[in-house]
Structure 1
Amino acid sequence: MVVLKKIIDFYINSSLHVALSAFALVSMAHYFFNIDGGLSIVFFAFFGTVVGYNFVKYDALARLNKNQIKKELKGIVLLSFLSSIACFYFFLQLCWVTQISAFVFLGLTLLYTLPFFPNKQNARNWKGVKIYIVGITWVGVTVILPLVEAEIPFSMDVLLMAMQRFLLVFSIVLVFDIVDVKHDDLHLQTVPQKIGVKLTKKLGYLLLFLLLILEFFYTNNHHFLLFFFKLLVCGTIAIFLFFAHENRSRYYASFWLESVPILWWLLLILTGFKNLSGL
């Protein structure tokens, strides 16, 4: 059990789990728009997420448990280095428009992490900004980049998918913010810090409801099973919201909640349906 726990901890701390969620969400964008192939952008998103998240998390992880980090750090650094090579390789396979778009979202990641002005905090510490930067970045990586790479023209369906993905990520981040409300710096002004846990949960339910409402505005591939799958995903996240509180273990959000996109993607594959995913 001790060995298994160490493996799971490394899997989470090295950002492999969140990267697999990104992999799943990009793949589902391909499902909805019936894009065949496109493996370069899928793996670029996977390895880019590993590198990006590890880059962002190092400082926070070091403060949480220095002894644990000393043991894991070499493995995480090696994994991040190999992932950066793989990310660069798949980046070179992308078209130039996708490459330029990727630099935009790379800039957001750097803005989120590094202070660009002397004696100023990074965007991660700007009051109330974090959740929006995270949402926009995830929309960019898991919706905009794959559709740009596949040369899918802008349409109402593209806009709806981007809006739904933002609402999905926003509601997931709300769960993280509730679980971390005691540990987050008050200066961050996260949603639970500003309006309280109860109102944050109600906001999350509202966002998930709006996500489902947007489903009825799609102009293509509307199917009952599509709505059912999204209802299942939103219902699962709503359950996580309902039971979220500040004393939950780190696995509650970092492992189980982030497994939702992965399980949803696997469900789509196992059912054998194409074009049933718009989130």
Structure 2
Amino acid sequence: MKTLKSIFSFYVNSSIHVALAVAALVKLTFLKFEILGGDAYIYFSFLGSIVAYNFVKYANISELYHRRLTKSMTGIKILTTVCAIIFVYFGYQLSIDTLLWMLPFVLLTILYAVPIFPNKKNLRSVAGIKIFIIGVTWTGITVLIPVIYAEGALEFNMIIEIIQRFLFVVVIMLPFEIRDLQYDGKELETIPQKIGITRTKVFGSILLVIFLLATVFKAELFSTEILSTVSITIISLLFLWGTDKKQSEYFCSFWVESIPIMWLFIWVLMQNLFG
């Protein structure tokens, strides 16, 4: 039992789970817009997410482990290094245009973690924008870049999808902001710090309503699109209102981060049931 718990802890802490969430949203985009041959980009986004998230999470605290590296931290470093090498391999399989479109989001990730601004600040520490940077980055990587990868034009439905994806990511980040309320400095001015936990949940609920209603504006609506969007809206709403400042260790880092995977599963299920 202890071994299984250690494996699960490594799975979550090494960012494999959140990388699967990113890859699930990429796959969802390919399925929604019937984009074929996207496996290389899915692997690329999965591996890149592991590298990026571990860089953001552990770059600033690596010195804490300099004297006494735990087995877990050593394993995370090895995993990240291996993923970085394979990430470069899949990068060579992508077009130059795709890689160029990736640059702004790579830059955002670096600026999010590396303190290059005055007073040794990074973007994460700039008041009020953390959650929206994550929203922009996830949206770009999981919707915009896949479309560019497929060399397709940005049609109206895709623009609606971009808006929806941004709203969705912002909402599922709110439980993390509520969780971190007791740890974040007041200078961060996160949404729960500014308006409180209950109003944050109301704010997220409003965003989910907009997310759901935006579906109506898509040029073509199918049963799969409608039912999967309604389902994931309800699931996200339940998790949002089930969030508290004091929560179980893996409520956010596993269950909330599983919501994108649930969305992909629901889409595939609805597609098989209704075509």
Name the TM-score, length of structure 1 as normaliser: 0.92
Could you tell me which residue of structure 1 aligns to residue 257 of structure 2?
258
SS in 1 for 2:245: coil
Maintained 8 Å contact 2:178/2:197 = yes
Residue matched to 2:217? 217
After superposing on structure 2, the runs of 4+ consecutive aligned residues of structure 1 that deviate more than 6 Å are: 60-69
Cα offset for 1:116? 2.0
Q: 1:102 to 1:208 in 2, by over 3 A?
A: same
- For the residues of structure 1 that align with 2:9 and 2:122, how far apart are their CA atoms? 27
**Which residue does 1:232 correspond to in 2?**
231
CA gap of 1:156–1:70, structure 2 versus 1, over 3 A, is same
Query: Secondary structure in 2 aligned to 1:249?
Result: coil
- Aligned counterparts of 2:226 and 2:67: Cα–Cα separation in 1: 46
1:10 and 1:61 map into 2 onto residues whose CA distance is 17
- The structure-2 alpha-carbon separation of the partners of 1:150 and 1:116, relative to structure 1 and needing over 3 Å to count, comes to same
1:149 aligned partner: 149
Deviation of 1:64 (Å): 10
> CA offset at residue 267 of structure 1?
3.2
Q: CA deviation at 1:262?
A: 1.0
Which residue pairs with 2:91 in the alignment?
Answer: 91
Cα shift at 1:66: 9.8
Q: Which residue of the partner structure matches residue 247 of structure 1?
A: 246
Tell me whether 266-275 or 204-213 shows the greater mean CA deviation: 266-275
Q: Any idea what the Cα deviations from partners look like across 1:11-43, whole Å, max 9, x if unmatched?
A: 011000000001110000001110111111111
Structure 1: how far apart are the matches of 2:112 and 2:137? Answer: 10
21-30 vs 242-251, greater mean Cα deviation: 242-251
Asked whether 1:185 is paired with 2:185, we answer yes
Separation of aligned partners in 2, 1:25 and 1:275:
21
Report what 2:121 is aligned to.
121
Mapped to 2, the partners of 1:273 and 1:67 lie a distance apart of 53
Q: Is the 8 A contact 1:62 1:69 kept in 2?
A: no
| Contact 2:224–2:271 (CA under 8 A) maintained in structure 1 | no
AA matched with 2:103: F
What are structure 2's unaligned runs of at least 5 residues? Answer: none
Does the residue aligned with 1:238 lie in a helix, a strand or coil? helix
Describe the superposition over 1:170-229 as per-residue Cα deviations: whole angstroms up to 9, x where unpaired: 000111111221111222111000100010000010000000000001113x11331111
- Equivalent position amino acid for 1:34 in 2: E
Tell me how far 1:71 sits from its aligned partner. 2.5
2:237 and 2:65 map into 1 onto residues whose CA distance is 31
Partner SS for 1:78: helix
Equivalent position of 1:175 in the other structure: 175
Alignment partner, residue 21 of structure 2: 21
**TM-aligned CA deviation for residue 250 of structure 1:** 2.5
Please list, as runs of the form range in 1=range in 2, the aligned pairs for 1:71-86 lying within 5 A after superposition. 71-86=71-86
CA–CA separation in structure 1 for the residues paired with 2:18 and 2:125: 22
Does the 8 Å CA contact 1:26/1:142 hold for their aligned counterparts?
A: yes
Aligned-partner Cα distance in 1 for 2:214–2:153 = 20
Q: Secondary structure at the match of 1:225?
A: helix
Counterpart-to-counterpart distance in 2, 1:165 and 1:274: 24
Q: Residue 124 of structure 1: CA displacement?
A: 0.5
Deviation at 1:65, TM superposition (A): 9.7
In 1: Cα distance, 2:233 partner to 2:69 partner: 34
Contact 2:224-2:267 at 8 Å conserved across structures: no
Instruction: Provide the residue aligned with 1:158 in structure 2.
Output: 158
Partner residue, 1:70: 70
C-alpha contact (below 8 Å) 1:31/1:274 kept by paired residues: no
Instruction: Give the deviation of 1:62 after TM superposition.
Output: 6.3
Query: Taking structure 2 as the reference length, what is the TM-score of the superposition?
Result: 0.94
Alpha-carbon distance in structure 2 between the residues aligned to 1:248 and 1:65: 27
Structure 1: which amino acid aligns with 2:109? Answer: T
Q: Which amino acid aligns with 2:114?
A: L
Residue identity matched to 1:42: I
Identity across aligned pairs (percent)?
A: 38
Higher relative CO (CA 8 A, sep ≥ 6), structure 1 or 2?
Answer: 1
Contact conserved, 2:227 with 2:270, CA < 8 A, in 1?
A: no
SS of aligned partner of 1:74: helix
Q: How far apart are 1:268 and its partner, in Å?
A: 2.9
RMSD: 2.2
